[in-house]
């Protein structure tokens, strides 16, 4: 950026974020999201995802500052030199997943996920799921607590907790990771090309109901879910050069 950006500020409901919101608005002023150059999000990773979903139609870059518990997608909270940091920030372009879920009632729900789409059993009984890639059945029956498909940016979140692989940011692949798989015994997931269309069909869905969640948007009692990487939507996050998202993801692979 060659000229100081016009800023719009968004904050989570935590006292820390709200205090920072007042300070930054007083110091730097504020314009509306449609008219700004950069959205500044104050909170944790959950609030960052909310901000991306809420304002994705405006296609504004988002610079996050940590004012919450988890801040993998956020920069350090340091208000004094905010404009200068934003002008030096490096972009990370994220391409989300698109989910189309069909429920038992016949409804079709479309949603977007920047981290992952996850399927989870709704009762004490394990889910039974047929897995197809680009129209070809790869697993006739996956018996599990659930399964998820993750973007590279989301691979260090729920996917990592489920023992899935960490993906480089520019790898153009997705991670498919089972959650507590029972059958097949040795199946631990797959790494897929980003353009792969994933289809999950819920077997015996009346007896073994399953929900599907795209980030925080949940659909219950599903019968089928189709997931693909978006070819038309992107969002841009801004990071301080010394703490770029690509470097953070690399560091996670050597964490101990």
Single out the catalytic residue among 19, 35, 37, 45. Answer: 45
Whether 7-94+234-252 and 97-229 share one fold: the answer is no
User: Which CATH number applies to 97-229?
Assistant: 2.60.200.30
Residue spans per domain, the chain: 7-94+234-252, 97-229
Residue 240 bears catalytic tag: no
Q: What is the pLDDT of residues 21-74, one digit of tens each?
A: 999 999 999 899 999 999 999 999 999 999 999 999 999 999 999 987 767 899
Q: Which fold has domain 7-94+234-252?
A: Rossmann fold (3.40.50)
Q: What is the pLDDT of residues 148-189, one digit of tens each?
A: 999 999 999 999 999 999 999 889 999 999 999 999 988 999
Strands of the chain, DSSP E: 7-11, 38-43, 62-66, 90-94, 97-103, 108-113, 116-121, 127-133, 136-144, 146-150, 173-179, 190-193, 198-203, 210-214, 217-219, 222-229, 235-239
Q: What is the pLDDT of residues 60-112, one digit of tens each?
A: 999 999 987 767 899 999 888 999 999 999 999 999 999 999 999 999 999 99
């Amino acid at each position: 950026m060659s000229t100081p950006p016009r800023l719009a500020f968004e904050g989570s409901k935590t006292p820390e974020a709200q205090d920072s919101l007042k300070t930054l608005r007083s110091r730097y002023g504020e314009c509306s999201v449609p008219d700004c150059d950069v959205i500044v999000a104050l909170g944790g990773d959950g609030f960052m995802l909310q901000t991306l979903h809420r304002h994705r139609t405006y296609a504004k870059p988002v610079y996050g500052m940590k004012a919450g518990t988890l801040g993998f997608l956020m920069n350090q909270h340091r208000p004094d030199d905010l404009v200068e940091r934003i002008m030096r920030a490096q972009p990370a372009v994220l391409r989300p997943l698109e989910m189309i879920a069909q429920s038992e009632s016949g409804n079709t729900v479309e949603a977007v996920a920047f981290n992952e789409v996850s399927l989870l059993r709704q009762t004490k009984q394990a889910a039974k799921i047929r897995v197809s890639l680009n129209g070809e059945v790869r697993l006739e029956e996956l018996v599990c607590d659930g399964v998820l498909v993750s973007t590279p940016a989301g691979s260090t979140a729920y996917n990592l907790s489920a023992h899935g692989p960490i993906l480089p940011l520019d790898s153009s692949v997705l991670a498919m990771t089972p959650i507590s798989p029972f059958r097949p015994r040795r199946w631990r997931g797959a790494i897929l090309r980003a353009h792969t269309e994933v289809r999950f069909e819920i077997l015996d869905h009346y007896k073994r109901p399953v929900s599907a969640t795209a980030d925080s948007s949940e659909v219950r009692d599903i019968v089928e879910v189709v997931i693909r990487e978006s070819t038309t939507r992107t969002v841009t996050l801004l990071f301080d050069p010394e703490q770029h998202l690509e470097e953070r993801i690399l560091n996670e692979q050597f964490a101990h």
